[in-house]
Amino acid sequence: MPDTESTERAPRRLRSDAQRNVDAVRAAAKAVFAEAGVDAPMRQIASRAGVGVGTIYRHFPQRSDLVVAVFRHEVDACADAAPTLAAEYPPGEALTRWLRRYLDFIAAKRGLHTALHSGDPAFDPLPTYFSERLRPALGALLDAAAATGEVRPDVDPTELLHAIAMLSVPGNADGPEKGQRMVELLLDGLRYGSRA
């Protein structure tokens, strides 16, 4: 007799065409949310994704489902970039490139800012998800750069994540260029007191 409990828990795999639709909707939503905010009409997202509005609601019954999917996907992409960069570049450069990638993530998240701080319980797990995925990614990069003497060893990954996020909060920066300059200053601070 099959274990119905484990069967119910297993995520249902989508057909390849359905997965393409989900990916297209998520990418379109990310772009539309960044431009027009999370209250943008679903038909605008559907048009950009090249699907019908019904396709969106089939996969994301509530608007909050789509917001959560976009946020989690972007967090995952940012976290997954850390080991790739660590394999391709020396530790200091990998750290620098990842922090720039994180800054891009924060800038893209601006369209989600209002929704994520709206008090909707659908978004309550997201700060924990953010921390659980990004803190270890940055921590590994910081440890590697500290081991080679390229940055100081006493940098807390959570504090650095929050510092960059605060520099990028709408109203605190005049655009991506200013955020980038602030990150460069933070990087200079990380190098201060290092062995290199």
Residue 91: per-residue pLDDT: 96
Q: pLDDT tens-digit profile of 64-100? A: 999 999 999 999 999 999 999 999 999 999 999 999 9
Q: How far apart are CA 96 and CA 146, in angstroms?
A: 13
Task: Return the residue matching tokens 């559907």.
Answer: 46
DSSP-assigned beta bridge partners for residue 170: 173
Q: At what angle do helices 91-108 and 176-191 cross, to 10 degrees?
A: 150
Q: For residue 2, what pLDDT is reported?
A: 46
d(CA 180, CA 60): 34
- For residue 171, what pLDDT is reported? 55
* pLDDT over 90 (residue 45): yes
- Asked if the 63-196 domain carries CATH number 1.20.20.10, the reply is no
Residue 156 has pLDDT above 70, yes or no: yes
**Residue 108 in this model has a pLDDT that exceeds 50:** yes
Domain residue extents for the chain: 13-61, 63-196
Supply the mean pLDDT for the chain. 85
* CATH hierarchy code of domain 13-61: 1.10.10
Q: Which one of 10-24, 94-108, 138-152 scores highest in mean pLDDT? A: 138-152
The Cα–Cα gap between 140 and 57 comes to 39
In tens, the pLDDT along 165-175 reads 887 665 544 55
In the numeric block, which tokens belong to residue 55?
A: 């396709």
Sorted by sequence, the CB contacts under 8 Å of residue 193 that are 6+ apart come out as 152
Do the first three CATH levels of 13-61 and 63-196 match, i.e. the same topology? no
* Confidence at residue 196, expressed as pLDDT on a 0 to 100 scale: 55
Contact 74, 105 (CB under 8 A): yes
Residue 50 has pLDDT above 60, yes or no: yes
In this model, does residue 129 exceed pLDDT 70?
yes
- pLDDT band of residue 110 (cuts 50, 70, 90) is low
The predicted structure's pLDDT at residue 147? 95
Q: Is the pLDDT of residue 192 over 90?
A: no
Angle between helices 91-108 and 157-167 (to 10 degrees): 50
At 7, the pLDDT band (50, 70, 90 cuts) reads very low
